């Protein structure tokens, strides 16, 4: 447990559930720069609030009309395993003690998404070509929910962006900018969610964010960027090699300024749509979100009710 070369020692506080501390090896010794990120994690992320901005995907969720619904069910054995499973038999908790799931996705435009520009062009980047810097970014939330509650077809304007800057300062380059409309609260009513009018984002707002503020991408709660017949805003984004997030949730639980976003997704080779998971990280004083003290993640809880497959093939309690 002693360290060579005067590097800092990392020790867990005895009796602390999560806590660990970075102690310098001795008075006057220099800090070890190669452990700086662990110190940063300890100081700024161990007590932070984490908010999931993702809808879990399942059949029957809101989707465009152009594709069939996704299908979910138990995985089936491709070969017999004597004494365990017949060929073609579904795996189950009851017989094999195993939960294994199969999916048919007629489209990759499913649920909470990250659209890469290869969705609209063969010479543009696919999901597996996005750089590793799609990972952690500042998160800006522009709240137009009051405008949308007065007019469900409201599209966020450049003025909305400038109003945010008047309150909070210049939007950081490289950040992710989400438009809060509270449309995501209709997610469990798929017909209502996809019905027009729905809220959008105007092209001038997006052009300002990308060309003047150099953001990474913007996100919105509906499944389309706007209601124009030629998908004006999405077309401009995709044809100019920008990505976008769609179907985002829980933006009402995130501060307008000062949070970070963690960007995750499945990584199919050459993928044209992103099955995404977005997590916001907010300061300890923020009232929403879970902490490491609330939910360390290991061990996970044992539930009182078992998972059972519904008629739609999805495991639920």
Q: Please, which of residues 140-199 interact with a copy of itself by CB under 8 A? A: 165-174
Q: Which is nearer to a copy of itself, 148 or 248 (CB)?
A: 248
| Dist CA 69 CA 250 (whole Å) | 24
Report 254-313 residues binding a copy of itself (CB under 8 A): 255, 257-260, 262-273, 275-277, 279, 281-283, 285-286, 289-292, 294-308
Report 63-92 residues binding a copy of itself (CB under 8 A): 65-68, 72, 75-79, 81
Shortest reach from residue 150's CB to a copy of itself, in Å: 25
Shortest reach from residue 266's CB to a copy of itself, in Å: 4
DSSP state, 312?
Answer: T
DSSP state, 128?
Answer: G
Shortest reach from residue 30's CB to a copy of itself, in Å: 14
205 to 224: interface string for a copy of itself, x by CB under 8 A: -----x--xxxxx-------
Binding segment for a copy of itself among 94-102, 148-156, 178-186, 191-199 (CB under 8 A)?
94-102
| Dist CA 232 CA 161 (whole Å) | 19
- Pick one of 95, 103, 189, 192: the residue that binds a copy of itself (CB under 8 A): 103
- Binding of a copy of itself at residue 95 (CB under 8 A)? no
- Binding of a copy of itself at residue 30 (CB under 8 A)? no
Structure tokens at 265: 């997704």
- Pick one of 20, 147, 182, 207: the residue that binds a copy of itself (CB under 8 A): 20
Structure tokens at 49: 């609030």
**217-219 and 71-74 beta bridge pairing:** unpaired
The residue written with tokens 């150099």 in the block is 214
CA atoms within 13 A on the CB side of 222: 25
200 phi and psi angles, rounded to 5 deg: -140, -170
| Dist CA 145 CA 149 (whole Å) | 6
Answer yes or no: are the C-beta atoms of 214 and 175 closer than 8 Å. Answer: no
């Amino acid at each position: 447990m002693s360290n060579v070369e005067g590097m800092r020692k990392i020790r867990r506080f005895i009796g602390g559930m999560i806590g660990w501390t970075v102690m310098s090896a001795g008075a006057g010794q220099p800090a070890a720069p190669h452990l700086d990120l662990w110190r940063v994690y300890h100081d700024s992320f161990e007590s932070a609030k984490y908010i999931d901005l993702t809808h879990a995907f399942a059949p029957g969720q809101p989707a465009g009309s152009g594709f069939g619904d996704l299908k979910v069910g138990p995985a089936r054995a491709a070969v017999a395993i004597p004494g365990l499973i017949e060929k073609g038999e579904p795996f189950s908790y009851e017989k094999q003690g195993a939960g294994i799931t199969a999916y048919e996705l007629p489209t990759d435009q499913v649920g909470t998404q990250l659209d890469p520009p290869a969705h609209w062009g063969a010479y543009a980047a696919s999901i597996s070509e996005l750089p590793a810097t799609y990972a952690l970014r500042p998160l800006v939330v522009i709240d137009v929910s009051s405008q949308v509650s007065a007019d469900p077809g409201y599209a966020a304007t450049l003025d909305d962006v400038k109003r945010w800057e008047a309150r909070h300062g210049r939007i950081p380059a490289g950040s992710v900018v989400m438009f809060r409309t509270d449309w995501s609260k209709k997610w469990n009513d798929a017909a209502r969610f996809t019905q027009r009018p729905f809220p959008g984002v105007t092209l001038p707002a997006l052009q300002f964010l990308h060309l003047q503020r150099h953001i990474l991408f913007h996100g919105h709660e509906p499944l389309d960027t706007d209601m124009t017949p030629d998908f004006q805003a999405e077309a401009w984004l995709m044809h100019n090699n920008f990505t976008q997030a769609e179907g985002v949730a829980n933006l009402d639980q995130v501060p307008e300024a000062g949070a970070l976003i963690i960007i995750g997704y499945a990584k199919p080779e050459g993928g044209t749509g992103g099955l995404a998971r977005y997590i916001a990280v907010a300061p300890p004083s923020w009232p929403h979100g879970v902490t490491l003290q609330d939910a360390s993640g290991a061990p996970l809880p044992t539930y009182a009710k078992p998972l059972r497959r519904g008629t739609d093939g999805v495991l639920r309690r």
